[in-house]
Every structure is written in C-alpha cells, then in structure tokens.
Structure 1
Amino acid sequence: MPVIRVKEQENSFPSWSEIHHYGINHLKVGQEVPLHYHDSNEYWIIVSGRGICTTEGDTYEIGPGDMVLTKKGDEHSLVVTEEMTAIYMYGVLPPGGKIGYLYRNKQSE
C-alpha cells in the first residue's frame, strides 16, 4: 500500500488507483468558488464549517461530515457561510482530460 504525500503526488498514484489528485482546502467566510466543471469526478468531504453548494442544478447546505460527489462534466459552485476545511479528491482523468477548473462559454450554448 503506497503512501502519497500531498506535495509529491504528481505521477505517484499506482495504476489501480481511482484517484489522481487530492488536497485539503481552508476556505474563508464569504469565499466563493464560481460555477465550473472538471474532466474527472470530484469528491469533497467537509471536515468543519458550512457552505452552500450547487451541483447538478440543485442547491444544498453542507456541513461537517457531509460528502459532495460531482460527476465529471457537471457544473458546480460553492459559497462559504462558515470558515470551512474540506478534503477533496479527483477521480482518474480520461485520455486527453484537463486538470483543474474548466468553464463553459454560456454565449456559445
């Protein structure tokens, strides 16, 4: 069983892993994560704090112990209402997939 260190995780996951990236976020009250999507599934576990997230067109109040699961390609956003700490993980990228926040051009849809 390998141990992956957050600062050394690039290309460190074994081929059988369903995760390709993870981290811990500390978010301030009022901080907003704008509407975006990813080329992989994303998982957030809320350790402390509260927020309002929108995913798959539905809005949820989230807090400690909650897990937010977002499918690849689904747009989602977050507004922090109480200082938050969360662990996030990204699933495996498909061939040609991009890492990070991706945005749709609403004018072209």
Structure 2
Amino acid sequence: MSVFKSGEQLPGWCEVTGFEFIELSGRPLPLPIETEKKRLLVTRGSCRLASGKKAQVLYEGQFWDMDVANGPFIADAGDETAQIILFSGRWGTELGGCGVFRVSPSDIIDTQGDPVSYLKSTNFDSHYHDCDEYWVIIEGAGTVVVGSHSFEVEAGDCIAIGMGHHHDLPLVRDHVKGAYFETTLEGKKRFGHLWEHKHGPADVRPERV
C-alpha cells in the first residue's frame, strides 16, 4: 500500500495518476482537461458542471467523467460553497464504485467482513476487491490496514490499494470522511466488497503495493 499527498507521484501500477481538492465559491471555475481521463467527485455541497454540450447538477457523493471531446468544462457552486476532488488517470471502461464514506468510533464491531487479528473500534469490514481502489481522506485521521501492514493517515492523504489486498479502517480518531474510487475491474470482475468466507480466495496482485 502507498500513501500520497496531492502533487506527489503515484507508483507506475496505479491507474489514478493524480488528484486535487478544489473549493468552489463565488465564481464559475474552468476545469481544463490535460490528461487522458478525469473524474469529478463532489465531496461537499452541490456543483453545477457545464460543458459545451450539457449541464448537470451533482450533489455530495455523485461524480462525472470528463474528457477532451466533451469539454471545455466549468464548475459552479452558485451562491453556496462546495468541495470537489478531481481524479486524473488512465482507467478502463468497466469500473467499480465511487463516492463518499464516513467512519466513526463504534462499540458495534463488524462481523460481516473477513476475521482479523488486530484491534478494531469501528464497524468497518475487512474486505478485498477485483480492482484497485483509492481512498482520499477528507476529514479526520485513523489507522488503515492493508494486508499485514498498517499506516496512520490524515486529511489530504490518498491511499492506493492494489487489487485483492484485504484492507480495513479499524481505528479512527474522531470521525473520518473520505472519498473512494474503485478503478478497472479485472479477473472475475465482481463488484463491491468481497470476503473470502463468502466469495472465495482473493485474487491478489502482489506487485501492487
């Protein structure tokens, strides 16, 4: 697993090559498309995204894929404020999920995910995917576990998680709000959280760490 800040280089195996937080307020903001693909995810408030062909209002947790052919794009929060994340990269066409998640300390410990040997104080499940996944911590801090490794993360961190690697958010300090982006589905191309006790052994890509 790898942890990065905006502007830092991600490993070569990553389909996401960059990300940035953008605060919207007051005036429309042009969004240039310099890379092969970009995905806009609203992480707070609402955003009107307009192009030469159409306009769409997006709310927290909703996203839009932008490419050169449909640009240029302009983002606008109107009289309110909003926050968005722009992901850049080279992902495929069959993708997993994308949105916003929240994790808080809990006395109710998850029993749906795969069993773990480490301390947990959240109701988050240990799981794997048939794709790579990227978490961006928006608020809060905590401990992320991927395989046999654990990492302390905080707001502004991006965690790159390779396909098949079990991952978890077992400990949080206060509340954590994050964004997730599951990129190109591979192998059996199963969608969502997968558990070995239900879905069988993970298809681990060991080089993606």
Query: TM-score, with normalisation over the residues of structure 2?
Result: 0.42
Unmatched runs of 5 consecutive residues or more in structure 2 = 1-32, 41-57, 68-88, 107-121, 202-209
Q: In the alignment, which residue of structure 2 is the partner of 1:88?
A: 180
Q: Tell me, yes or no, if the aligned pair for 1:51 and 1:81 is still in contact at 8 Å.
A: yes
Matched to 1:57, the amino acid is S
Please point out which of 23, 27, 42 is paired with 2:133: 42
| Contact map agreement 1:41 1:90 (CA 8 A) in 2 | yes
8 Å Cα contact 1:32/1:77 also seen in 2: no
Q: Between Structure 1 and Structure 2, how many residues are aligned?
A: 105
User: Are the counterparts in 2 of residues 54 and 60 from structure 1 also a CA contact under 8 Å?
Assistant: yes
- Pairwise mapping of residues 57-96 of structure 1 onto structure 2 (< 5 A)? 57-79=148-170, 80-94=172-186, 96=188
Q: Distance in 2 between matches of 1:55 and 1:72?
A: 11
1:18 is the counterpart of 2:91: yes
Aligned residue in 1 for 2:189:
97
Counterpart position of 1:28:
104
Q: Identity rate of aligned residues, in percent?
A: 21
**Which shifted more, 16-25 or 69-78?**
16-25
Superimposed CA distance per residue, residues 76-105 of structure 1 (whole angstroms, 9 cap, x where no aligned partner): 111233211101000111263111111113
The superposition leaves residues 25-84 of structure 1 with CA deviations (integer Å, 9 ceiling, x where unpaired) of 122233332211000000000011111111031011111111111111001111233211
Task: State the Cα RMSD in Å.
Answer: 3.0
Larger RCO of the pair (alpha carbons < 8 Å, separation 6+) = 1
One-letter amino acid matched to 2:156: G
Q: Which has the larger radius of gyration?
A: 2
Unaligned segments of structure 1, at least 5 residues: none
Between the aligned partners of 2:165 and 2:187, the Cα distance in structure 1 is 18
Contact 1:56 / 1:75 at 8 angstroms: preserved in 2? yes
The change in CA–CA distance for 1:52 and 1:13 in structure 2 (over 3 A counts) is same
Q: TM-score, normalised by structure 1?
A: 0.75
